[in-house]
Structure 1
Amino acid sequence: MIRQALLLGLVLLLVGCSGGGGSRPSASGQVGADSTAASSGERYALSGDAYPQDPPDVSEVPNAEPRREPLSRGGNRSPYEVWGKSYEVLADASGYVREGKASWYGEKFHGYATSNGEIYDMYTMSAAHRSLPLPSFARVTSQNNGRSVIVRVNDRGPFHSEREIDLSYAAAARLDILDRGTGRVRVEAIDVDQWLTNKATTAQPQAPPASPVPASVEVGSAVPSTPSGNDVHDAEEGVFLQVAALGSAESAKALKTRLESELSQPVRVASVTGTHRVQVGPLSHVDQANPVRDQLRRAGFAQAFIVHSED
């Protein structure tokens, strides 16, 4: 009996979550196993999870900030077994891209130990994944609305074959999948070294280019203002492919940045009365939209549609 209890405790520490979460720390700070709930399956039943009773506003919770971290001592054993099925942990997350269903885990696991021994905080940008190394960072993008978040993966799960990732309450709220419980997403592991290199390059101050005075304007006279090319009041004319209409300016800007890195076309955010429309273009004519739409479909945005500058 003692041997069986010890084995059960080790399995629980490794698993951390089946829909998310782990075991609550004891008063000493050591991880303890709730063997009664675990053995009955009640603790790991998805239907047993719940919304927090009085949740804070998580709309402004910042994305996880990718950084170099050593692999956790816990949660990276490979292979490992859960419910009779074996799983492999990737040695390196580089290049990992998958599309699938995201679920979320909340109140039932809040304050419990994750698979790598940290404490699960549902109000931060974190996630559970079956095979990504712990910790690692990933961009998760909703395929329903184009919203995107960056999460730190520090837990194992979900152990439901049709699901790709388990998100924290905050991450799920930002992607607007709380009410439905699940949502289609694209998961892209972040190369931390490349991320930090890009961040350092972006942070370097650059002198603004000199603005030449038009030949038709005399020196000393007022120079006619020109459109900024930045989003709201663009004077661009032509055809655009609208990818998403979002309520968050930050999310729209993040989606614009991502699309600019994946497409060979310009991207703008047209903002009017609190709605931020992410649009690819201008395109010179409607026929040019088809190959761009194909690129968007491959990137996970199959709902793009044509709009005109006056729309």
Structure 2
Amino acid sequence: MKLLDKTKIWIAGISFAVVAGCSSGGELPPASAGSQGPGYGAGVSDTPVLVGQPYTINGRTYTPSDPSHYDEVGLASFYGNELAGRPTANGELFRPSGISAAHRTLPLPSYVEVTALETGRTILVRINDRGPFAGDRIIDLSIGAARQLGIVEQGVSPVRVRRVQPIDSDRARLRSGQPAQPRLQTSPQLLTALRAQFERGGGVIPPATPSPDAPDTTGRAGVDWQVENEPQTADPALRSAPTATGSYYVQLGAFSNATNAQRMASRAQRLGSVRVISAGNIRRVRLGPYSSQAEASRAQSRARAAGFGDARIFRDSGR
């Protein structure tokens, strides 16, 4: 997302995307005059609507506009909590858990329906920022929006973005940081047409992503990977570990697409030692090893705070 930190471009994931502030390659238009960076609530307004002047980032010029109809397919990215509390391009404070997004040219704010082309799930999103400026991505979602859309594990995901004029109650919910009322699932016929449109543009719809906590059925180099199935602790996502010796890992995601796995691994490098474990066609991105469950639990907490909300603990039994 393009935030008003004019010194950096933040890359939100390996895999995932630029989220970020201005680079030295150009400057965004300033936030609205006198803005104090309101958070969610009464300080957040849909007026005035800002369109803005053309701006240049990394040698590429973007011209904001106010089209009555906007409907495009392309790639969506997202970012985690690293920009929490920073001002967005229209002067609001960014909240990772909110259902918001960045777009290069649509007015600020504006509302769009975002549809995941892999699943047909559609959500309503409020655009209040500029970006992304990496590759050919067309929208950059907050992690709250990415979770609602179900694309956290994929990182970069094919989507449809369509501008809409939602009812006042849905606008108010998004301004307050809450999701809008559920949207209708995209019909199979329309989803087929949107996928074909995306593929004609050179995109590839990846196969469905396996569940991140699915156990490997085969090991690599003699390692027997196991998911702990003991009774759950107070944290329902954390399984209690047996007393047997062995190393512990924190799994961040599982992918059939190698590029997506590498993107997540790159994004996770700041959290410590990262490895991609291959078993058949499945690639699992894991942190570790850790010598105890307590150490792995601390790593899991750090991973979740960094935006890897589905981080799970696994154990190598050492057999």
Q: TM-score, normalised by structure 2?
A: 0.44
Point out the structure with the larger helix share: 1
Give the number of the structure whose alpha-carbon radius of gyration is greater.
1
- Using structure 1 for the length normalisation, give the TM-score: 0.45
